[in-house]
Structure 1
Amino acid sequence: MTSRPRIERTTVGIAPARAGRPAAEVESYALDTGKGPAITVWSYGATLVEVRVPDRMGRCANVCVRLTDLDSYLDRGRNPYVGASVGRYCRCVAGAEFTLDGVRHTLDRNEGEHHVHGGSEGLDRRVWSADASSDGDALEVRLSVTSPDGDQGYPGELTVGASYRIGPDGTLDIGYTARTTAPTIVGMTHHAFWNLAGEGTVDGHRLRLDATEAVRFDADLIPLPGAPEDVRGTARDFTTERSLDGVVVDNCFLASDGPVLAELSHPDSGRVMRVSTDQPAVGVYTGDWFAQRPRGGICLETGALPDAPNRPDYPSARLDPGDVYQHRTVHRFGCG
């Protein structure tokens, strides 16, 4: 890391024309406060490409899994949403359908009969507008994109903003906003794969979650009817810090009201990441089906509950004209 704050903008390539959208230049923004984490964000998918933080010896490494080049990010076969901003609706919508004000809406079916992570041409596949600036001791890159009415089947034109803000206190603050022209549903998430070792797998990491309940899923990862499961005393109990060695996790946990939702640590390097959010749930995935890098990182996807548009017992994902969708998740990095 440098001793003085810096913002560096470069071009990484051209995203080709696709789905009726023209080819577009993809920009990279490198932000470094000189004291806290240093990050790199690309305008393709509003994607977090690098987060460099020191270990207990002061040696820096990228703790956010990245792909090798723009072509890799453009290729869905090689890119399972790595570091991307996912929407309009993260996780699943069962049967790719939901009803709003008596009108049935059919979404893009991109996972069998279901809609997952915003569809085959979701916001992670778009080139966002971007700029970056300093704000006191903090640095921030802000991105925006407009999803037209009917995009992937969603009603209303949706204007989405994303922001990545770093401070010298070791924080990375990720935020989303959205506004709509018609009643719709919104549920963004951030899909980084975290690896505090900077290499290898998530084995060697430890995880604690301030969450006592998890969604019960069927074989297609669609929520089952009824209340969430109490995970205390089960294989999904992370209320006490546990090793991830050989542990497979792919579930959605209900967030508590505590100040820290998740704490991920890597004892060998000393790096620790604490996550807090204003969202009702966190999806935890140990990357076991990431074809290019199995178990290369762990996702902590804060956001709405899966299939909330079809579940009146879940917190609502509805957004109306005149209202503003807001989502904030803070990552605090340190050494233990």
Structure 2
Amino acid sequence: MKANQIHTGTFVNQKEVIAVELTNTKGTFVKLFNYGTIINQFVVKNAQGEWQDIVLGFDDIEGYLSEEYLANYPYFGSVIGRYANRIKNGEFTVDGISYQLAQNAGSDCLHGGTEGLDKKVWDIIELHHGINPSVTFQYFSLDGEEGFPGDLAIQLKFTLTENDELILAYQADTDEATPVNLTHHSYFNLSKNGEGIQSHYHQMNASQWLAQDDNYVVTGELLPVAGSLHDFRTGKRIAEGWDSENGYDQSYLLDKNYNDLTLASRTHADDSGLVLAVYTTEPVAHFYTAKYLDVKNGKGGKSYGSFDAFCVETQHAPNSINIPSFPTTVLQPEELYQQTTIYKVEVKK
């Protein structure tokens, strides 16, 4: 029932980074930064009645700005855009005009380019106190930013409910046809002691997954999960039968009606009893078990490595701007982009 702003005294591109704290009547607590709309803390009560932070990150904003962190940058807890995941060769065509983006992941464009929405200081345009506290951030991405056409006005509202749901409600509009595919990139660990996520139990409502090339770019081919290590429909331990060297870094086509708000995944840890359920209006969830994670001096001085967290990134299919058979990600000037994702925390009975 609280929504507080805290000045950090840290400036990025002459704009101050502000922390926003949301607290419900149970004491569940979320801390966000207006830099990249980072989810810095998500503190919930586990089955033993202990308070537990379920997201990876740093103790303060300086950690997210350090050269060491940015050199092997995992996008801790940040918004991703204008376009989530990879675009093949950083190229696309809209209305007969070809555009070239930064090639910041080999020959491909990753997560919106060199300086995407994750590295911008957003404006705080509304704070709501009382039951279900919320904050709304806004950013104007100008025509040509990172190579994308059109001025894009984006709002992202975070609401913390009495049911321990963190609701992310996105909307955007443009003055020119442009591809838009937004997501959020929190790294979750539900274990009491922050141990690896191999023993977490994960269930994903997806009968198909999206084939990728050697650089993790979606090709357009849909593959059945049945009979493969990608079958999470009835749930299993993350490490059960997996490729122990690579883990998971794949996109899954959710079993749902387009645009309906439905359950994408449920993940729980035995030792804490915590369950994270992810609901979304988006058609795809990208499941990543953090193979490439290598961060020093995280929260409390802890280092984070491979398989210390998992991500469920709700979005449209990566590279779908180049795959005509997939639902369009082109936003037209007369349209309003909208999507909702919910992180709901429960205690397993």
Same fold (TM over 0.5): yes
Write the distance in 2 (CA, Å) between the matches of 1:297 and 1:144.
28
Residue 78 of structure 1: how far off its partner (Å):
4.9
Q: Does 2:254 match 1:255? A: yes
Secondary structure of 2:263 counterpart: coil
Write the distance in 2 (CA, Å) between the matches of 1:12 and 1:332.
28
The aligned residue for residue 137 of structure 2 is 143
Write the distance in 2 (CA, Å) between the matches of 1:321 and 1:115.
24
Residue 228 of structure 1: how far off its partner (Å):
0.6
Given that 1:37 and 1:170 are in contact with CA atoms closer than 8 Å, whether structure 2 keeps it comes out as yes
Residue 131 of structure 1: how far off its partner (Å):
4.7
Q: Does 2:203 match 1:204? A: no
Q: Does 2:346 match 1:329? A: no
Residue 186 of structure 1: how far off its partner (Å):
0.1
In the alignment, which of 109, 128, 133 is matched to residue 115 of structure 1?
Answer: 109
Write the distance in 2 (CA, Å) between the matches of 1:147 and 1:55.
39
Counting aligned pairs with the same residue, the percent is: 27
Write the distance in 2 (CA, Å) between the matches of 1:43 and 1:78.
22
Secondary structure of 2:156 counterpart: strand
In the alignment, which of 150, 166, 170 is matched to residue 164 of structure 2?
Answer: 170
Residue 113 of structure 1: how far off its partner (Å):
1.4
Write the distance in 2 (CA, Å) between the matches of 1:301 and 1:55.
24
Write the distance in 1 (CA, Å) between the matches of 2:106 and 2:11.
27
- Amino acid in the other structure paired with 2:264: L
Residue 273 of structure 1: how far off its partner (Å):
1.1
Q: Does 2:291 match 1:303? A: no
The aligned residue for residue 266 of structure 1 is 269
Q: Which runs of 4+ in 1 moved over 6 A?
A: none
The aligned residue for residue 85 of structure 1 is 79
In the alignment, which of 223, 231, 234 is matched to residue 229 of structure 1?
Answer: 223
Q: Does 2:256 match 1:244? A: no
1:216-270: CA deviation from partner (whole Å, max 9, x where unpaired): 0111111235x31101110111112111247411100011118321001011111
Write the distance in 2 (CA, Å) between the matches of 1:37 and 1:286.
25
Given that 2:125 and 2:138 are in contact with CA atoms closer than 8 Å, whether structure 1 keeps it comes out as no
- Amino acid in the other structure paired with 1:262: S
Write the distance in 1 (CA, Å) between the matches of 2:205 and 2:42.
24
Judged with a 3 Å threshold, the aligned counterparts in structure 2 of structure 1 residues 323 and 278 are, in CA distance, closer, same or farther, namely same
Residue 94 of structure 1: how far off its partner (Å):
0.5
Write the distance in 2 (CA, Å) between the matches of 1:97 and 1:201.
37
Given that 2:277 and 2:344 are in contact with CA atoms closer than 8 Å, whether structure 1 keeps it comes out as yes
- What pairs up with 1:59-138 in 2 under 5 angstroms? 59-75=50-66, 76-134=70-128, 137-138=131-132
Write the distance in 2 (CA, Å) between the matches of 1:63 and 1:177.
26
- Amino acid in the other structure paired with 1:252: S
Given that 1:40 and 1:48 are in contact with CA atoms closer than 8 Å, whether structure 2 keeps it comes out as yes
Write the distance in 2 (CA, Å) between the matches of 1:131 and 1:30.
15
- What pairs up with 1:273-284 in 2 under 5 angstroms? 273-284=276-287
Write the distance in 2 (CA, Å) between the matches of 1:181 and 1:172.
30
The aligned residue for residue 8 of structure 1 is 4
Write the distance in 2 (CA, Å) between the matches of 1:34 and 1:288.
37
Stretches of structure 2 that go unaligned for 5 or more consecutive residues are: 296-303
The aligned residue for residue 181 of structure 1 is 175
Given that 2:218 and 2:317 are in contact with CA atoms closer than 8 Å, whether structure 1 keeps it comes out as no
- Amino acid in the other structure paired with 2:254: A
What's the TM-score, normalizing by structure 1?
0.93
Write the distance in 2 (CA, Å) between the matches of 1:256 and 1:245.
23
Secondary structure of 1:212 counterpart: strand
Given that 1:90 and 1:306 are in contact with CA atoms closer than 8 Å, whether structure 2 keeps it comes out as yes
What's the TM-score, normalizing by structure 2?
0.90
Given that 2:2 and 2:130 are in contact with CA atoms closer than 8 Å, whether structure 1 keeps it comes out as no
Secondary structure of 2:71 counterpart: coil
The aligned residue for residue 300 of structure 2 is none
Q: For the aligned residues, what is the CA RMSD?
A: 1.6
- Amino acid in the other structure paired with 2:99: H
Secondary structure of 1:254 counterpart: strand
In the alignment, which of 289, 294, 313 is matched to residue 292 of structure 2?
Answer: 289
The aligned residue for residue 36 of structure 2 is 45
Residue 110 of structure 1: how far off its partner (Å):
1.1
Stretches of structure 1 that go unaligned for 5 or more consecutive residues are: 17-21
Write the distance in 2 (CA, Å) between the matches of 1:133 and 1:9.
9
